[in-house]
Amino acid sequence: VEVNAYIDGVIEEVIPREGVVVANEVSLVQGIFGVGGETRGILKRIAASPDEVVSASKIETDCQNKVLIAGSLITYEAIEQAIKVGARAIVGGGIEDGTLRRFLGYDIGVTITGSEQKGLTVVITEGFGKMRMAKRSFELLASLEGKMASVNGATQIRAGVIRPEVIVPCPETE
């Protein structure tokens, strides 16, 4: 049986009836909050800076199957446009609670996210509201533009914390 892995790498160990251990040197950006499950796509920067609020007009058909690097605030219009063009994920500094509610169709309580099937994985690196993405995170992701990224929006705040993530194999190991 062939199964697609979440990340590229070398299988170091097979765990019978459970899975495998995949090893690789990667760059990792963890978020504060996310929704949507595992996905993969080529990184594409759509913001000029970590302060920029990306308008929907910047998300064009060349964003199809891409992981979009936004700046500060992810707006509802940007999310809708990303879904419309077939983007895989969008990563930004912040999101308004009302935007998240409108996107999901319900309020998020104290729960585990990641099982939402809304057509787009969203990773928030800083928090709620208009928050600029950390400069270091933005610059790292921008430097990896054009590379394959694995993204997971799963979040759990309680015990056994799970953070959303963007993982990109290091260029030296490709």
Q: Residue 4 has what pLDDT? A: 79
Alpha helices in the chain (DSSP H): 76-85, 97-104, 135-143
What would the mean pLDDT of 48-55 be, rounded to a whole number?
96
pTM of this prediction?
Answer: 0.93
pLDDT in tens, 105-131: 998 876 789 999 999 999 999 999 999
**Residues in contact with 120: Cβ distance below 8 Å, sequence separation at least 6, in sequence order:** 36, 79, 82, 83, 87, 88, 89, 90
pLDDT in tens, 143-163: 999 999 999 999 998 878 999
Please determine, for residue 173, whether its predicted confidence score (pLDDT) is greater than 50. Answer: no
Q: What percent of the chain has pLDDT over 70?
A: 97
pLDDT in tens, 8-45: 889 999 999 888 999 999 999 999 999 999 999 999 99
